[in-house]
Structure 1
């Protein structure tokens, strides 16, 4: 073999790997975007349509409250889906859980679009709605950990945060798509037609997720790190299980402090995100008399801002470490909390847009490194379970409660936003404090080594993490 043929083969293999991972990133981005599109789509429908379709006998605000109570069911179900997927994902692999969760999301979201109204089948209609929403929430909860690990573990050691950020971009993309499709459909037909059948079209559009699922199933290999783990442990002892038998229990037993700290880092980003897409819109219309559609467009613009910032945050986390990026975002939220509400209180659309767009920058910096950082904090044997538990724990505590807390605080303080601004500051302090308390998985010595893998030095030869 000629002297340079090995180098040529190495470069060729590198290009092949880069091509495969580029396709994985694209599949992850599309899959995550449609998944979150499905999840947020329900929120829009719950506000605009479901009170008329599923709760027609409830008067005024009661119908909306009943509708939003079904929306909250998804947040309750997310941790359950995350824990189940984590437990089996640490045993069977990342890809099977991703395929199952994405397919489940497609099926249950499509089913919501097919549900008959209460006028057709009576009480069974809202019961079926709650059931589909619960199963949809479980699928959403199962998806995050699997897709995050599949993307980050399959990437090169110097590009894991950037690769994981492609999945994180799915949240703003999904929120943007959900609102955009609803706006297009609702403005294309009459209000009567929209309430009768038009609202179903965005739910049926989730069928586009099926080709993505089939591509991942047929063309994408499972995480090389998980496959290596199975081979490594199997070689040690033919009688020893290749994976931990009870990964969820092992994760809680050995890493409960790290799980709680990791979960805490999400506090500020989840708080600000759900204030922007829910709480601020309700406050603006109720207390400031602002136009809902105009504020919705501003919120959509903030998600457009979040997309490139999330990718930039992932790139920065590969270059300067995971914790610095999270801390920068958390400090930014802390500083911006009071100006955020001051601008909103101006009751001016330009000021409102600036408020939510700047908040989206800081919120995205906190969120960007999480997909890779959480996985790197834990040993591969219990990684899926630990990551899912950390992520979904904050979702149910902060994400689901923030709009309620905001509404309650503003009502208690006679319309003042000082209380909710202090609440945002508190979540920012929690985020920064937890990030400082956690270990850095991508320190300078790892970044400078061409072969060092982020996080590997934290749990070498450890089953418990």
Structure 2
């Protein structure tokens, strides 16, 4: 389990590194370089628009790789998604700017960001199922939390590299070529991830499906016809985690550096400190999910996000490093209380024959609802000179949506389900609660 979990974590960290390094670059330099005819605000909005395209591509990637995972196995998904995302990220670092090739520059950026999202759309489903379907029932939440550590680790890698370059280079050097280095480094990381995953074994549950001939011929059709409500609830439930994470890690960086004139090195350090603690706490919260259930933690996390968004904006407005870090940390604590357990929770909601498609589509639909538009909407709402309370209200609304959706979803922890129903079987909530 440890070897499998580490292979899952490493690949997820690498793919999210690819995804996050774009978001940070969009907040710092892509606007002036690829949309120079726009005003600074419009350029940032346009850069965040290309950032959002990656999220729009993720559900399509979950459909493509979900079909592969449900028909041909979880292992091919792990390799294919990593290769696609890595190649697209390296290519972003090679795109000439608007000053060199004109309108083709932002168009190429858009296409490559779409390919990034396509690959990442398949990554989470494959990584989560690899650990969840191998893990013993009583520790499934813990082992399935390893892919959830990947995003904060990838974020720290991406922003650590940008922070180092930002501190070591002049503004002119960073804007000229320094921002490209983290994208080029993605190629080396992708090769390392493929090496780690080369010997990963197929999961027992998929092997059982293949041996008994019970694989789904059309997993997407089966999900849409029989489980559409479950997919929508999954996406709505996860939307707050995405919205909070990208408001903390992407929008706040742009807002603090442009509106509050905070040095980008200082703001990056504040965000990274909060994300590091989030990653450290993920396995701890996952253990609580194994003991007390997945759903209660998700409800608590949604409620925490709901009540913290106004304090988050207020603390960010102070421009004080310690208070800004506290604001970011408060939001991410609510987010991690939810997302530490979803590596086990979301796959358990779906029957094994359609699990890769259903879990991945639901997870990435949450990314569209909460992640794709949040930096754009938040930047537009914060365009004035006053406190951006509209951002806090927007984020609170998404947190309320998540709270309602989690309230409508069932508990899936097999031990908790058995204790409540008095049954002695090991059936998960997916078979018991999902539509026929």
- From 352, 359, 374, the equivalent of 1:380 is 352
Is the counterpart of residue 344 in structure 1 residue 303 in structure 2?
Answer: no
Unmatched segments (≥5 aa) in structure 1: 1-20, 235-241
Output the TM-score relative to the length of structure 2. Answer: 0.91
* Deviation, structure 1 residue 197: 3.1
| Number of the residue aligned with 2:366 | 394
Equivalent residues of 1:250, 1:464 under 8 A apart: no
| Number of the residue aligned with 2:332 | 360
RMSD across aligned C-alpha pairs, in angstroms? 2.6
Structure 1 Cα separation of the partners of residues 402 and 4 of structure 2: 30
- From 213, 230, 255, the equivalent of 1:258 is 230
Equivalent residues of 2:349, 2:429 under 8 A apart: no
Structure 2 Cα separation of the partners of residues 47 and 422 of structure 1: 22
Is the counterpart of residue 214 in structure 1 residue 186 in structure 2?
Answer: no
* Deviation, structure 1 residue 304: 0.7
Figure out how many residues of one structure are paired with residues of the other and give that number: 433
Structure 2 Cα separation of the partners of residues 117 and 280 of structure 1: 25
Equivalent residues of 2:300, 2:337 under 8 A apart: yes
Equivalent residues of 1:271, 1:402 under 8 A apart: yes
Q: Residue 326 and residue 60 in structure 1: after superposition, are their counterparts in 2 closer, same or farther (change >3 A)?
A: closer
Structure 1 Cα separation of the partners of residues 177 and 394 of structure 2: 40
Deviations 1:257-302 (A, max 9, x none): 1111111221221121111112333333455444443222111111
- From 272, 286, 293, the equivalent of 1:300 is 272
- From 386, 391, 410, the equivalent of 1:420 is 391
Alignment of 1:298-337 (within 5 A): 298-337=270-309
Structure 2 Cα separation of the partners of residues 124 and 351 of structure 1: 42
Output the TM-score relative to the length of structure 1. Answer: 0.85
Is the counterpart of residue 159 in structure 1 residue 139 in structure 2?
Answer: yes
- From 410, 429, 435, the equivalent of 2:400 is 429
| Number of the residue aligned with 2:249 | 277
Equivalent residues of 1:77, 1:135 under 8 A apart: yes
| Number of the residue aligned with 1:7 | none
Alignment of 1:71-220 (within 5 A): 71-206=51-186, 207-217=188-198, 219-220=199-200
Q: Residue 52 and residue 286 in structure 1: after superposition, are their counterparts in 2 closer, same or farther (change >3 A)?
A: closer
Structure 2 Cα separation of the partners of residues 330 and 321 of structure 1: 15
Equivalent residues of 2:92, 2:109 under 8 A apart: yes
* Deviation, structure 1 residue 347: 3.5
* Deviation, structure 1 residue 131: 1.9
Structure 2 Cα separation of the partners of residues 67 and 396 of structure 1: 17
* Deviation, structure 1 residue 96: 0.5
Q: Secondary structure at the match of 1:439?
A: coil
Equivalent residues of 1:185, 1:198 under 8 A apart: yes
Q: Secondary structure at the match of 2:93?
A: helix
Q: Secondary structure at the match of 1:169?
A: helix
